[in-house]
Structure 1
Amino acid sequence: MSDFLTRVKFGVAGGLSIAIFAAAMFVGLSDTGPGPVKAFVGAILLIGYAVHRGVQEYLSRRQENVLTGGVFLLGFGAVAWGVFVNGAKVSQEDLIAWGGLVVAIVLIGGWTLLARRRPE
């Protein structure tokens, strides 16, 4: 029975990932949307979070770190692309958001590493 429930959990995570990707690309390709690249990055961020939360207990420590690092890298990359390549202006609100994101990364990363730490 637990094998069946595991398959159902992975199926739900996969189905949710497909739905998130389809919706993000639909919005990204619309006339008033953010564009396909930003929609793709946003979809990957949401899918990474959904997969992480859905199948967290089945991931090894290394897989979890790679998934978390990839999601954070894409998040920073999307913002950095807008600033450095597209020449977007950086406002004070953007700097506050970046600072908040850095604090969140440190807290989440530290919490994850401490939670997975085993006593010797």
Structure 2
Amino acid sequence: MSGPRQPAEPPSGAPVPGPAAPSRDPVTGLVRWAAFSCLLVPVVLLWCGTSFAGTAGTALGLAAVTGTCRLLLRRSERVAARPPGRGRGVRAGRRHRAGRRARGGGRHTRQNTPVG
């Protein structure tokens, strides 16, 4: 019986293989799991006896939801990565009219009331 075996050493200068580093981007990991589910769910549905048309519709729906979620997650990352205060100018709209006095609710003090 011989002693414990030593692992073979890689030649000098060669990269040492190690465990795969986990993805640092949480959105990428989430989208990968969603894509895996988009593939797994139709297979399970077919295995359980669901019609091919129903399975195809489910797969397309899952793919659409996954794609939309990916777009929304990426957009929220871009918005969160913006420096504070950028892109927040004066908004022009119904309630945000620059240079005009706000009109609406409250008590009017004009003398335009009907005599009665």
TM-score (norm 2): 0.37
TM-score, normalised relative to structure 1: 0.36
Structure number with the bigger relative contact order (C-alpha 8 A, sep ≥ 6) is 1
Pick the structure with greater CA Rg. Answer: 2
Structure with higher helix content: 1
